Amino acid sequence: MSDLNQHANEDSEVSKPESRYARQIRFPPIGPSGQLKLQQSHALIVGCGALGSVIANTLARSGVGKLRLIDRDFLEKSNLQRQVLYDEEDVKSGLPKAVAAANRLRRINSEIAIEAIVADVDASNLEAYCADVDVILDGSDNFEIRFLLNDVSVKLSIPWIYGGCLGADGQTMTILPGESACLNCLMLDGPPPPGTTPTCDSYGILSPIINVIASIQSNEAIKILSGNRNSVSRKLNVFALWDNEVRQLDVSSLRDRVDCPTCKQHTYQWLNGDRGSHSAVLCGRNAVQLSFPERQTISLSELSARLKELGRVESNAFLLRFYIEEYVLTIFPDGRAIVSGTDDVAMARKLYSQYLGN
């Protein structure tokens, strides 16, 4: 083909209505039919922070027809180091993350539908949010939400893509109900007890690992939504970015575990509310109590050592008090906590997750 004809064909391709996605369409596994499927698809992103903002940005630019964004939080200046959708003006605006993200994405791609939901995802509302979506992407910051996502994914037969990062390390796995192991297959004992593992606030996090993990999550979603399900990874992908190490763990054998309460027994303990946190606003005290019936006993002395670097800590044999900004977290050995300084359950849960892990 002559250069002239080649350029003519290229111009013709770019002049089509889908020219925004011309380079993507030219990738053989996508093609025109795959792009059409993307434009007709619906993705749910739970969490619009570090992972979620990268995922939302990528899927919006890829032409996924509808994005539903859910986040319970507001922006803070410290978010800007790794949450790529936002800038200083967004922080000054005081808008919730989901709303700020939707505003930015509409400026990026006005051809798709974007729904912003400011809510705290829990067992009472997640199933409704997932009812009409084709894929669920994890942009959350704690394992309680991830186990909820796992339950609803298997129950409704909707693929979901797990991702998590800490420091310069990250991991991701795609769960295909009925085809692959689920998160509960990997972690039958549930998440680690609060205070026993570091968090992003206590250990820190580098933005490059966020972009790596979120990009893989986005790529997996594009495979699913464009009709390339056979190309989806069935492995747990683990990255130690600082140490230049990448591992892929074959977890396919775990899907044969008959004791998995989610994909084998179908009891959906997290989605049914049998597991997970329980909260109550304490009348007249401007405080919220969070209780975790399934939690193991935690070491107050170990927790004290971890939190002392972040704020003032007072403790005795029966409880620990952690002072951070205008809040006081009173934590008991069974994992129960009273968060003083707010009557907002979502804020109390955020603080608990932020400083104790889950």
53-65 residue pLDDT tens:
999 999 999 999 9
CATH of segment(s) 278-356 = 3.30.310
* Residue ranges of the chain assigned to CATH 3.40.50.720: 40-256
Say what the pLDDT of residue 2 is.
47
More confident: 66 or 188: 66
**Topology annotation, domain 40-256:** Rossmann fold (3.40.50)
Strands, E assignment, 97-228: 113-118, 135-138, 160-166, 169-175
Q: Select from 138, 133, 130 the least CA-distant residue to 172.
A: 138
* Strand-strand pairing, 312-315 and 337-340: unpaired
Average pLDDT over residues 156-168: 96
* Residue ranges of the chain assigned to CATH 3.30.310: 278-356
Q: What is the pTM of this model?
A: 0.84
Percentage of residues in the chain having pLDDT higher than 90: 66
Per-residue pLDDT tens over the stretch 253-279? 888 788 899 999 999 999 998 888 777
Phi-psi category of residue 310: left, alpha or beta, with phi > 0 → left and psi -120 to 50 → alpha: alpha
> Cα(177)–Cα(244) distance, rounded to whole angstroms?
32
